[in-house]
Structure 1
Amino acid sequence: MSDRPHLDLSDYLPYLINRIGAAFVARYESDLAQSGLSIAMWRVLAALSTSGAQRQIDVAESTSIEVSTMSRLVTRLVSLGLVSRTRSDTNNREVNVELTPKGRALVSRLIPRARKLEADAIAGLPPAELAITRQTLRRMYDNMAGVADETQEPRNLAKSG
């Protein structure tokens, strides 16, 4: 064995996680492109479909998208007629975002395909293992968010990607 440092990608967790995400994106992009959407735009629509109208900054956090990127995404989604954006009644600096009827209809058409891709990915996994996997991934994210807090200047943890 060489003294050179090495990294076996087949056993490196960040690579494995990214590989799964890339495979999902590769399969879902054509569905989204037909509607003029990117994966990031899809995440915004999915978050709004689950949680309803919310502050733009909260959507950024829940989707792991940078606040500045979120603003551009929401502007594009507004221009497509899929979301509406309004100033908060209580704080003029806050922006609220929600799906329009057109946005809700589109999400309703796209969710079954997203669920099918997820089903393909988890095929053959026992429910107990899947529950542990989800719990583990959430914990890993929390760990990484905590590391970012300790090693960098304060910032919004919602990174794009």
Structure 2
Amino acid sequence: MSTEHRFVDGYLLYLLARASSVASAEFHDQVRASGVSVAVWRVLASLKGTDGLTIGELTSSCLANQPAISKTVDKLVGQQLLTRTTDPDDRRRVWVELTPQGEARADELIARAQKHQDRLIAAIGLEEIDTLRTALTRLIDRAPAKK
């Protein structure tokens, strides 16, 4: 059976999903091998460089659903990697922040992620990566804001 004219081979959304899957797989294997789930990695990385995020912001940043993020946050609070604080102005809003131990763990994982990204850049080339980054950012910025 010929696959010469498959629609998906040139379909942008398929290519984006496939590239993400291929590029992420090796790094996610490394993360899991170090005893950290991909969900934990995403939470720690999303919080790094912030003064904290709400559960809703974290859910959006981690590309996950709220119950899954809440469960991961509960686990990380128990491990003293995160703190959770109710907003005094809106008791429905919960802020999540890295503890010093969480910062250290995030730094370690981000260093691994940076090495992985450096290998991807070396394979593709810096100029093409910059073009890709710009194009992907433009696509993301087109998305309607979620309420």
TM-score (normalizing by structure 2): 0.80
Query: Tell me, what secondary structure is at the counterpart of 1:51?
Result: coil
Q: Aligned residues, how many?
A: 143
Residue 102 of structure 1 corresponds to which residue in structure 2? 101
After superposition, the Cα gap between the structure-2 partners of 1:63 and 1:79, relative to the gap in structure 1 and judged at 3 Å, is same
Query: Tell me, what secondary structure is at the counterpart of 1:110?
Result: helix
Q: Which has the higher contact order (CA 8 A, sep 6+)?
A: 1
CA RMSD of aligned residues (A): 2.4
- Give matches, 1:6-45, under 5 Å: 7-45=6-44
Matched, 1:142 2:141: yes
Deviation at 1:139, TM superposition (A): 2.0
Deviation at 1:79, TM superposition (A): 2.5
Is this contact kept in 2: 1:25–1:39, CA < 8 A? no
Deviation at 1:34, TM superposition (A): 4.2
Deviation at 1:35, TM superposition (A): 4.7
Aligned partners of 1:130, 1:28: CA distance in 2, in Å? 18
Query: Deviations 1:96-152 (Å, cap 9, x if unpaired)?
Result: 101112211111111121011111112254544322211211222233x33xx7xxx
Aligned partners of 1:105, 1:34: CA distance in 2, in Å? 18
Gaps of 5+ in 2: none
Query: Deviations 1:69-118 (Å, cap 9, x if unpaired)?
Result: 32122112222322111111221111010111221111111112101111
Aligned partners of 2:6, 2:140: CA distance in 1, in Å? 22
Query: Tell me, what secondary structure is at the counterpart of 1:95?
Result: strand
- Give matches, 1:80-91, under 5 Å: 80-91=79-90
Aligned partners of 1:42, 1:95: CA distance in 2, in Å? 20
Residue 55 of structure 1 corresponds to which residue in structure 2? 54
Gaps of 5+ in 1: 1-5, 150-154, 157-161
Q: Report the structure, 1 or 2, having the larger strand content.
A: 2
Amino acid at match of 2:64: I
Is this contact kept in 1: 2:32–2:38, CA < 8 A? no
